[in-house]
């Protein structure tokens, strides 16, 4: 695609991502400066910000350690059952935090507060780090590691000195998604009672139908996001993004023998998987066995599953369509414009779903009324919510299609569009598929925006789950929860496979 | 006939000029090398010819049509100028045959052209391989075949051998030249490797800091470089001060005929193969003598560094066809002309690193 | 270029299929008066309401398009939608949300004969909304942890040192917030602030919602908790038993005590549907003896219309000496929220 077309398309995508910001701006302006000051310049806001940031920091750090550690163990060591652990490390993506938190609360007495929240959020979100890092480890040039080891470096020292720096973009990207996710999460902090900004935003709605107050609080989340984005930008380094293609076939990585630490390492990963997947699974089965309420007919379950699948698939398709130009622009143009465009797409990612939902209500009612309460607007909301996930995937994939390939194709007489269709798009397809899978399963779990924007009468697995747990009908809710997790597990498995952690080394 | 003409080409990146008043012409059917150190603007020039970047001023004509000039910019895909980038840049998702056939329409693909060019580059039978199953040299051959396949008006090669090891490079160079010749293609090769440029090209264009500093056949560029810098860049050089009298340049190691020039003080360029050394027993008066400082053994020949009595160091290259004086031995030194001279004194453009780069893959412009 | 192109085509086809499938599912415009359709925004749970609405459709042939959500978020949604809301009626979990929506001028007056079916305490003064069911605040307790004779007669006793760390509340719930408003209205700001601050200082247990409180008490994790009375019934139902078989028991505070206040769920009609006969039919149905009896039996709530029997396992509504709190004032929320925040009970 030519640069102007690409820039224009990226512009449209950014507009979608910034719709919620426009809405916030309108409402906050209406509220006026005095109201804003009264709401925001309080010790409480300071306390909430501190808690939110602390939680984001702790969870991000824990996810980085757990994600990088398991990625390394799975891809670079002689860990037993490495492929199994690769899948297990991706699967927590399929577990919504509200299900995980609920399971923990029911399983452990007094399981509330900051550290329990941090634990549950870590267990649910470390795949955001694991997946990109495993993929980067898989791609990294083994020659450099060979060199380091030939210079007498111990394998571990080689990992720290040579491999880890190459992983920095992957780690930073994953960590950013984790941090933003933690800021926007409501499910875990609500059930585990940690006073974060997002919980305060929800409370402002639920407690007093205080729309203005809730939106004012949300602006602080945008500010916190800006801080995180700047921080992440500072850790980025240019370069080292080209796929290696040149001196012949790639050799496989040498797997480091763990020796006596082989089984303890496996045990550690086993414990992580048990905490992240086993606890929710046990709780679901217990609830199903204990309760007498029953879900609706099979048709109802099938309809909800069908709705979840179609709106999530549509959300994934639209999000990817919008993410493509941004990702390509970032990979092709290294200027400040591309960087700003990419960062902008992240800006509203920490906003709670209910705020995104309301902004789309506003947009639907005032701008796109024919779309209001149709699947289209819900799809648009998913795109606004999850664009960064897709942009990250496309940017990573675009690095696999270096611009030199475009140059060659054009020099052979092919028009830009043809080049895009025959060269760029096929090379991006695996990355696009991975991004789509991630967006898809995130859409499956989404609740607040879905409640606000779904067509009247349309139930998804998530809304059914919410409806049944609302009246303590846990047994009725369990099948929906189980189906939600199982259906999300398919794309999660696909993501694990995509990361290269499952496949034999060096093959396409 | 002229296949490519660049006239007064200028381009800046921000405030930095990368091309200044560049002009060159490439004869149809020839192989022209654009030779220059890293950062001299040669790759930018190539990208402008390909249509991947635009000139700020100047004109580019391919065959007889203007493809770049004031108000004209023919996009890359309409120029019929095919590119062979560094490291080949094969499409990783396409087989060898699909890579080679990429620039061909359906009928052409069926016409046997793919097989034809694969034979040209010595890869018949590789049609169904995938790029990652090929060695680096094979990937470059496919990249060349892919560029040749649609019979472009011009093939541009951007340091295509720099990522390869030395032995492979030498054989691939000759194969590439042969393939280009047999196909009747016109090619421009961008390189920082003087040996590559001199050995392959029919014509060499030397660039420095965005300007063309010399333009001619390889022998001419080697024997009569325009200045010290070019002299050193295109080969080993011994620069001595001397005096021209009556058609001969007189230097510390003897006299040699010069091409022309007025009498007076000069700087003399000697190529090591023009410097002869003969082992002697004990030095006698009247002979120019020195002692062997060290040898650089190259297999087919040896570069010997000799220190003269007055401390001047000169290099001599000789074939390894006889006894070699040992380090420390006394030798007699003489010169075989003719030689290139410049009037003495500093040269206007003597800046920069004059040493020709011999490092493989040391970077590109 | 076989496989990759095929894959691309497959992806494109799949995307097209999904998108066109969605187009086919596009929903029509909002309904017109007398078209035998009602668009209902329900802040009450689908599992509770849907069977009743189905019965209504069966009897009248009027179709209900019901949208379910949390009461608070629906109030926010209605506020954002304003005059363009597709909603025709709003069924709310509590009086406060109805008051908030009414304050935005979104509700139409109900005919006087509709309001007349319900005691004046349980409907809007301006007649713009009407209560459908009532729920009482209660103290749920676990008899193995607290003896019956030790139970307090007033909610204000819970600040005693002997209740330290033993009381659970859910301050982010609408029911609690209405209770706070009740305390303010009945006893004034100063007393209310003193009480809730003392409650916080007494190490009150803060849980996410009423269900969590009842489960915690039933499991013996917390001795007592402040909830609405019907949650015990919901949990008993899920366990396939009746409320009297649970460990957790209900305790009603003394007559007239704020702890025994009664709140309502109710319905209001959006302005543009003020005269729509279909909407009116729905309101009438919800206030019919049949629907009211159904509420009492299935949701354990108090019916508000004369003639419907009270739910089992609780004293009749008439026996509760409800404190003198005007439900119309429950929308004066800002002060209550400020108070809850100031007392440190919520983030």
The residue extents of the domains of chain C are 37-133+262-315, 136-261+332-342
pLDDT above 90 covers what percent of chain B? 27
pLDDT tier at C1 (50, 70, 90 boundaries)? very low
pLDDT digits (tens, 9 = 90+) for A367-414: 888 888 888 899 999 999 999 888 888 877 776 677 788 888 888 888
* CATH of segment(s) C37-133+262-315: 3.40.190.10
Cβ pair A413:B87 closer than 8 A: no
Count CB atoms within 10 A of the CB of residue C82.
Answer: 12
So what CATH class is C136-261+332-342?
Answer: alpha beta
Q: Is the pLDDT of residue B362 over 50?
A: no
Read off φ and ψ for residue A315, nearest 5 degrees. Answer: -60, -40
Q: What is the pLDDT of residue A389?
A: 87
pLDDT digits (tens, 9 = 90+) for C141-168: 999 999 888 899 899 999 999 999 999 9
For chain C, helix, strand, coil in percent to 5 are 50, 15, 35
- CA dist list (Å): B79 to B33, B82, B88, B175: 20, 8, 20, 26
Average of per-residue pLDDT across A276-283: 89
Q: What is the DSSP string of A349-412?
A: TTS-HHHHHHHHHHHHHHT-GGGTTSHHHHHHHHHHHHHHHHHHHHHHHHTTS-HHHHHHHHHT
pLDDT tier at C128 (50, 70, 90 boundaries)? very high
Question: Does any CB of chain C come closer than 8 Å to the CB of residue A203?
Answer: yes
Token pair in block for residue A111: 């399981």
The residue among A194 and B218 whose pLDDT is bigger is B218
User: Within a domain: residue A252?
Assistant: no
Cα of A245 to nearest chain B Cα, Å: 7
Q: What is the pLDDT of residue A237?
A: 52
The residue among A146 and C226 whose pLDDT is bigger is C226
Burial class (CB in 10 A: 0-12, 13-18, 19+), A281: middle
Q: What is the pLDDT of residue A11?
A: 86
Q: What is the DSSP string of C190-236?
A: HHHHHHHHHHHHTTPEE-SSHHHHHHHHHTTSSSEEEEETTHHHHHH
Q: Is the pLDDT of residue C30 over 60?
A: no
pLDDT tier at A55 (50, 70, 90 boundaries)? very high
Q: What is the pLDDT of residue A242?
A: 36
User: Of C67, C64, C133, C127, whose CA–CA distance to C94 is shortest?
Assistant: C133
Q: Is the pLDDT of residue A506 over 50?
A: no
Q: What is the DSSP string of B110-157?
A: HTTHHHHHHHHTT-TT-TT--GGGS-HHHHHHHHHHHHHTT--SEEEE
Q: What is the pLDDT of residue B61?
A: 93
pLDDT tier at A504 (50, 70, 90 boundaries)? very low
If you search the block for the tokens 């100028």, which residue do you land on? B81
Question: Does any CB of chain B come closer than 8 Å to the CB of residue A457?
Answer: no
Q: Is the pLDDT of residue C170 over 80?
A: yes
The residue among A2 and A86 whose pLDDT is bigger is A86
Nearest CA in chain A to C180: A207
Q: What is the pLDDT of residue A118?
A: 95
Whether A184 and A351 have beta carbons less than 8 Å apart is answered as: yes
Whether A434 and A394 have beta carbons less than 8 Å apart is answered as: no
Q: List CB contacts (< 8 A) between B52 and chain A.
A: 407, 410-411
Question: Does any CB of chain A come closer than 8 Å to the CB of residue C160?
Answer: no
Q: Is the pLDDT of residue A161 over 80?
A: no
Distance, in Å, from the CA atom of A258 to the CA atom of A262, rounded to the nearest integer, reads: 5
Whether B4 and B189 have beta carbons less than 8 Å apart is answered as: no
Distance, in Å, from the CA atom of A21 to the CA atom of A23, rounded to the nearest integer, reads: 5
Range from A57-66, A176-185, A200-209, A441-450 that averages highest in pLDDT: A57-66
Whether C129 and C167 have beta carbons less than 8 Å apart is answered as: no
Q: What is the pLDDT of residue A79?
A: 86
pLDDT digits (tens, 9 = 90+) for A453-462: 898 888 899 8
> With a CB-CB cutoff of 8 Å, which residues 324-343 of chain C face chain A?
333-334, 336-337, 340-341
User: Of C339, C347, C325, C345, whose CA–CA distance to C191 is shortest?
Assistant: C339
Q: Which domain holds residue A467?
A: 3-242+257-498
Q: List CB contacts (< 8 A) between A408 and chain B.
A: 83-85, 89, 91, 143, 146-147
Q: Is the pLDDT of residue C4 over 50?
A: no
> With a CB-CB cutoff of 8 Å, which residues 469-498 of chain A face chain C?
470-476
Q: Strand B81-84 to strand B154-158: parallel, antiparallel, or no bridges (unpaired)?
A: parallel
Which subunits have 3 or more CB–CB pairs within 8 Å of chain B?
A, C
Distance, in Å, from the CA atom of C268 to the CA atom of C131, rounded to the nearest integer, reads: 9
Cβ pair A452:C212 closer than 8 A: no
- Please tell me the total number of residues recorded for chain A in this structure: 508
Average pLDDT over all residues of chain C: 83
Q: Which residues pair with B333 in a beta bridge?
A: B277
pLDDT digits (tens, 9 = 90+) for A89-110: 888 988 888 888 888 887 887 7
Q: Give me the total of CB pairs closer than 8 Å, taking one residue from chain A and one from chain B.
A: 98
Residue of C82, C84, C347 with shortest CB distance to A48: C347
Q: Is the pLDDT of residue B346 over 80?
A: no
Average of per-residue pLDDT across A202-212: 72
Q: Is the pLDDT of residue A310 over 90?
A: yes
Read off φ and ψ for residue B257, nearest 5 degrees. Answer: -65, 145
Domains and CATH numbers, chain B: 2-228 (3.40.50.300), 238-343 (2.40.50.140)
Return the SS3 of B31.
strand
Tally of domains in chain A: 1
Q: What is the pLDDT of residue A497?
A: 80
Average pLDDT over all residues of chain A: 82
pLDDT tier at A307 (50, 70, 90 boundaries)? very high
Cα of B155 to nearest chain A Cα, Å: 9
Q: List CB contacts (< 8 A) between A354 and chain C.
A: 73, 76
Q: Is the pLDDT of residue A241 over 90?
A: no
Mutate to test the interface with A, among B89, B99, B154, B364 (most CBs of A within 10 A): B89
User: Within a domain: residue A11?
Assistant: yes
Q: What is the pLDDT of residue C32?
A: 64
Please give the helix or strand (H or E) that residue B268 lies within, else none: strand B264-270
pLDDT tier at C31 (50, 70, 90 boundaries)? low
Average of per-residue pLDDT across B138-148: 90
Per mean pLDDT, which range of A163-177, C118-132, C287-301 is the poorest? A163-177
Cα of A187 to nearest chain C Cα, Å: 11
In chain B the first and final C-alpha atoms are separated, in Å, by: 29
Distance, in Å, from the CA atom of C228 to the CA atom of C131, rounded to the nearest integer, reads: 16
Distance, in Å, from the CA atom of B172 to the CA atom of A28, rounded to the nearest integer, reads: 68
> With a CB-CB cutoff of 8 Å, which residues 238-257 of chain A face chain B?
243, 245-250
Q: What is the pLDDT of residue C214?
A: 92
Does the model's pTM come out above 0.90? Answer: no
> With a CB-CB cutoff of 8 Å, which residues 164-223 of chain B face chain A?
164
Whether A374 and C27 have beta carbons less than 8 Å apart is answered as: yes
Token pair in block for residue C48: 């509770």
Q: What is the pLDDT of residue B353?
A: 44
Whether B149 and B110 have beta carbons less than 8 Å apart is answered as: no
Distance, in Å, from the CA atom of A328 to the CA atom of A308, rounded to the nearest integer, reads: 29
Q: Is the pLDDT of residue B241 over 60?
A: yes
Q: Give me the total of CB pairs closer than 8 Å, taking one residue from chain B and one from chain C.
A: 5
**H-type helices in A151-278, by residue range?**
155-158, 164-184, 187-191, 197-208, 211-235, 262-273
CATH number for position A447:
1.10.3720.10
User: Within a domain: residue A506?
Assistant: no
Q: What is the pLDDT of residue B215?
A: 92
What region does A297 belong to: left with phi over 0, alpha with psi -120 to 50, or beta?
beta
Cα of C246 to nearest chain A Cα, Å: 14
Distance, in Å, from the CA atom of A372 to the CA atom of A389, rounded to the nearest integer, reads: 25
User: Within a domain: residue A263?
Assistant: yes
How many CA atoms within 13 Å lie on the side-chain side of A174? 29
User: Of A410, A434, A422, whose CA–CA distance to C5 is shortest?
Assistant: A422
Q: What is the pLDDT of residue C198?
A: 92
């Amino acid at each position: 695609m030519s640069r102007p077309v690409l820039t224009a398309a990226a512009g449209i995508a950014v507009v979608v991502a910034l719709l919620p910001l426009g809405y916030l701006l309108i409402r906050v302006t209406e509220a006026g400066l005095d109201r804003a000051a009264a709401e925001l310049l309080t010790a409480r806001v300071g306390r909430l910000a501190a808690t939110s940031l602390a939680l984001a920091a702790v969870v991000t750090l824990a996810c980085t350690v757990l994600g990088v550690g398991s990625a390394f163990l799975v891809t670079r060591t002689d860990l037993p059952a490495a492929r199994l652990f690769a899948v297990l490390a991706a699967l927590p993506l399929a577990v919504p935090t509200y299900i995980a938190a609920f399971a923990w609360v029911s399983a452990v007495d007094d399981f509330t507060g900051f550290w329990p929240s941090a634990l549950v959020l870590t267990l649910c979100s470390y795949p955001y780090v694991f997946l990109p890092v495993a993929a980067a480890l898989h791609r990294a040039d083994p020659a450099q590691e060979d060199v380091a080891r030939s210079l007498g470096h111990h394998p571990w020292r080689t990992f720290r000195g040579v491999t880890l720096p190459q992983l920095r973009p992957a780690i930073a990207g994953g960590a950013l998604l984790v941090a933003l996710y933690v800021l926007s999460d409501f499910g875990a902090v609500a059930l585990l009672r940690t006073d974060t900004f997002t919980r305060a935003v929800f409370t402002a709605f639920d407690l007093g139908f205080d729309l203005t107050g809730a939106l004012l609080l949300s602006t602080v989340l945008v500010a916190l996001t800006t801080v995180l984005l700047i921080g992440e930008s500072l850790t980025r380094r240019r370069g080292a993004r080209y796929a290696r293609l040149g001196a012949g076939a790639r050799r496989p990585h040498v797997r480091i023998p763990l020796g006596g630490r082989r089984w303890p390492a496996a045990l550690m990963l086993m414990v992580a998987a048990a905490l992240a997947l086993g606890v929710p699974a046990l709780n679901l089965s217990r609830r199903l066995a204990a309760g007498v309420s029953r879900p609706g007919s099979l048709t109802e379950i099938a309809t909800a599953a069908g709705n979840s699948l179609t709106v999530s698939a549509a959300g994934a398709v639209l999000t990817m369509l919008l993410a493509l130009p941004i990702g390509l622009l970032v990979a092709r143009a290294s200027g400040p414009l591309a960087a700003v465009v990419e960062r902008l797409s992240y800006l509203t990612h920490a906003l709670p779903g209910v705020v995104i939902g309301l902004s789309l209500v506003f947009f639907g009612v005032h701008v796109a009324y024919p779309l209001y309460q149709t699947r289209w607007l819900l799809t648009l909301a998913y795109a606004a919510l999850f664009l960064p996930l897709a942009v990250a995937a496309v940017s990573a994939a675009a690095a696999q299609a270096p611009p030199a390939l475009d140059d060659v194709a054009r020099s052979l007489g092919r028009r830009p569009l043809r080049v895009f269709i025959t060269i760029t798009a096929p090379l991006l397809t695996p990355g696009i598929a991975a991004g789509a899978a991630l967006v898809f399963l995130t859409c499956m779990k989404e609740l607040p925006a879905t409640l606000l924007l779904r067509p009247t009468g349309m139930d998804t697995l998530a809304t059914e789950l919410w409806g049944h747990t609302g009246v303590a009908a846990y047994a009725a809710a369990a099948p929906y929860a189980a189906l939600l997790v199982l259906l999300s597990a398919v794309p999660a498995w696909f993501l694990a496979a995509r990361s290269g952690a499952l496949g034999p080394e060096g093959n396409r | 006939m002229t296949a490519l003409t660049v006239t007064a080409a200028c381009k800046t990146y921000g405030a930095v000029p990368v091309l200044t008043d560049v002009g060159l012409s490439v004869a149809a059917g020839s192989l022209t090398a654009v030779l220059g150190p890293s950062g001299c603007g040669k790759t930018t020039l190539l990208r402008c010819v390909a249509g991947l970047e635009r000139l700020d001023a100047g004109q580019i004509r391919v065959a007889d049509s203007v493809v770049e000039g004031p108000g004209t910019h023919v996009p890359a895909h309409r120029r019929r100028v095919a590119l062979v980038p560094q490291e080949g840049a094969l499409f990783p998702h396409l087989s060898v045959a699909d890579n080679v056939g990429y620039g061909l329409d359906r009928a052409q693909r069926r016409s046997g052209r793919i097989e034809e060019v694969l034979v040209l580059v010595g890869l018949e039978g590789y049609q169904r391989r995938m790029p990652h199953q090929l060695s680096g040299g094979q990937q470059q051959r496919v990249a060349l075949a892919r560029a040749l396949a649609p019979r472009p008006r011009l093939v541009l090669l951007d340091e295509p051998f720099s990522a390869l090891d030395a032995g492979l490079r030498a054989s691939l160079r000759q194969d590439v030249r042969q393939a280009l010749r047999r196909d009747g293609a016109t090619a421009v090769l961008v390189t920082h490797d003087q040996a590559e440029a001199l050995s392959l090209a029919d014509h060499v264009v030397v660039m420095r800091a965005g300007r063309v500093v010399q333009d001619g056949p390889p022998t001419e560029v080697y024997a009569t470089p325009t200045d010290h810098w070019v002299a050193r860049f295109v080969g080993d050089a011994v620069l001595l001060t001397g005096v021209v009298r009556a058609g001969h340049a007189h230097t510390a190691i003897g006299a040699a005929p010069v091409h022309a020039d007025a009498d007076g003080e000069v700087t003399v360029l000697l190529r090591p193969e023009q410097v002869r050394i003969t082992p002697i027993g004990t030095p006698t008066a009247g002979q120019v003598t020195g002692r062997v400082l060290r040898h650089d053994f190259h297999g087919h020949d040896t570069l010997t560094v000799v220190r003269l009595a007055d401390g001047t160091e000169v290099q001599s290259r000789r074939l390894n066809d006889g006894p070699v004086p040992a380090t420390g031995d006394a030798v007699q030194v003489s010169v075989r002309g003719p030689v290139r001279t410049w009037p003495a004194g500093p040269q206007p453009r003597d800046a920069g690193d004059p040493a020709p780069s011999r490092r493989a893959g040391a970077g590109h412009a | 270029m076989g496989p990759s192109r095929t894959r691309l085509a497959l992806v494109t086809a799949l995307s097209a299929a999904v998108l066109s499938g969605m187009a086919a599912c596009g929903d029509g415009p909002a309904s017109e008066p007398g078209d035998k359709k009602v668009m209902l925004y329900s802040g009450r749970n689908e599992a509770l309401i849907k069977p009743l609405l189905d019965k209504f459709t069966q009897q009248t042939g009027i179709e209900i398009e019901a949208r379910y959500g949390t009461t608070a978020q629906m109030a926010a949604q209605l506020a954002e939608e304003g005059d363009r809301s597709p909603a025709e009626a709003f069924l709310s979990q509590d009086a406060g949300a109805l008051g908030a929506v009414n304050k935005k001028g979104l509700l139409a007056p109900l005919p006087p004969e509709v309001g007349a079916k319900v005691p004046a305490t349980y409907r809007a003064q301006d007649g713009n909304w009407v209560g459908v069911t009532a729920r009482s605040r209660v103290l749920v307790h676990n008899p193995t942890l607290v003896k019956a004779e030790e139970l307090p007669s007033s909610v204000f006793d819970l600040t005693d040192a002997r209740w330290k760390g033993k009381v659970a509340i859910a301050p982010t719930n609408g029911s609690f917030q209405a209770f706070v408003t009740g305390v303010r209205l009945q006893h004034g700001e100063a007393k209310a602030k003193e009480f809730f601050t003392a409650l916080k200082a007494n190490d009150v247990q803060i849980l996410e919602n009423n269900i969590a409180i009842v489960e915690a008490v039933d499991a013996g994790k917390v001795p007592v908790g402040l909830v609405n009375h019907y949650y015990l019934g919901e949990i008993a139902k899920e366990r396939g038993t009746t409320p009297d078989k649970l460990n957790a028991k209900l305790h009603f505070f003394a007559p007239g005590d704020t702890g025994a206040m009664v709140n309502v769920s109710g319905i209001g009609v959006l302005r543009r549907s003020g005269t729509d006969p279909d909407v009116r039919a729905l309101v009438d149905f919800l206030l019919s003896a049949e629907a009211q009896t159904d509420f009492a039996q299935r949701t354990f709530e108090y019916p508000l219309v004369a003639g419907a029997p009270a739910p089992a396992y609780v004293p009749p509504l008439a026996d509760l000496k409800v404190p003198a709190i005007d439900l119309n004032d429950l929308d004066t929320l800002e002060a209550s929220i400020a108070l809850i925040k100031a007392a440190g009970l919520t983030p």
